[in-house]
Amino acid sequence: MPHPSPKRREGFTLIELLVVIAIIAVLIGLLLPAVQKVREAANRMSCTNNLKQIGLGIHNYHSTFEKLPPWAFDFAVQPNPPYGTQGFATLALILAYMEQGNILNAVRTDRAVVDPSNLPPPYGTSQGGATVVKNYICPSTPQRTTDYGPYFASVGLGGPGACILGPTDYAAIRGMHPNFRTNCAPNAGAIPASPDDGGALGIKAKSTNGNMAPITRIADIIDGTSTTLMVGECAGRQQVYAAGKPVMPNTPGAVGYALNSAWGDYNTAIGVRGFDNAGVTVDGGCCAVNCNNSAGTATGQFYAFHSGGANSLRCDGSVSFMSANTDPAVVGAVVTRAGGEVVGNF
Instruction: Give dist(CA 234, CA 251) in Å, integer.
Output: 19
According to the per-residue pLDDT averaged within each range, which of 119-123, 130-134, 188-192 is highest? 130-134
pLDDT tens for 36-49 read 666 777 898 999 99
Mode of pairing for the β-strands spanning 269-272 and 309-314: unpaired
Judged by phi (left if over 0) then psi (alpha if -120 to 50, else beta), residue 341 lies in beta
Phi, psi (deg, nearest 5) at residue 58? -65, -45
Q: 10 Å Cβ neighbour count for 286?
A: 20
* pTM metric for this prediction: 0.89
Sign of the dihedral defined by the CA atoms of residues 265, 269, 274, 275, in that order: positive
Asked if residue 16 has pLDDT above 90, the reply is no
6 in helix, strand or coil?
A: coil
Residue/partner pairs of 252-257 with CB below 8 Å, 24 or more apart: 252/150, 252/151, 252/154, 255/296
pLDDT tens for 97-110 read 999 989 988 999 99
Q: In this predicted structure, what is the pLDDT of residue 8? A: 56
Closest-CA residue to 53 (of 101, 102, 98, 99)? 98
Q: What is the DSSP secondary structure assignment for residue 219, as one 8-state letter?
A: G
Instruction: Give dist(CA 166, CA 128) in Å, integer.
Output: 9
Q: What is the DSSP secondary structure assignment for residue 233, as one 8-state letter?
A: E
Closest-CA residue to 100 (of 63, 64, 131, 72)? 131
Strand order in the sheet with 72-75: 86-89, 72-75, 205-208, 211-213
According to the per-residue pLDDT averaged within each range, which of 18-27, 255-264, 337-346 is highest? 255-264
- pLDDT higher for 159 or 136? 136
pLDDT tens for 53-92 read 999 999 999 999 999 999 999 999 999 999 999 999 999 9
Alpha helices, DSSP H only, in the chain? 14-65, 90-93, 101-105, 149-154, 178-184, 328-334
Helix, strand, coil percentages for the chain (3-state, nearest 5): 30, 20, 50
Phi, psi (deg, nearest 5) at residue 302? -65, 115
Sign of the dihedral defined by the CA atoms of residues 203, 92, 97, 141, in that order: positive
Peptide bond before residue 328 is cis, with ω within 30 degrees of 0: no
pLDDT tens for 299-337 read 899 999 999 999 999 999 999 999 999 999 999 999 999
For the chain, give every domain's residue range: 41-212+222-334
Q: In this predicted structure, what is the pLDDT of residue 335? A: 96
Name the burial class of residue 219, with classes exposed (0-12), middle (13-18) and buried (19+) by CB atoms within 10 angstroms of its CB: exposed
110 CA to centre of own chain: 25
Q: Are 317 and 55 in contact (CB under 8 A)?
A: yes
Instruction: Give dist(CA 77, CA 210) in Å, integer.
Output: 11
N- to C-terminal Cα separation, the chain? 91
pLDDT tens for 166-225 read 999 999 999 999 999 999 999 888 899 989 999 999 999 999 998 999 999 999 999 999
Return the exposure string of 2-29: e unless at least 16 CB atoms fall within 10 Å of the residue's CB, then b: eeeeeeeeeeeeeeeeeeeeeeeeeeee
Closest-CA residue to 119 (of 165, 78, 168, 73)? 165
Q: What is the DSSP secondary structure assignment for residue 196, as one 8-state letter?
A: B
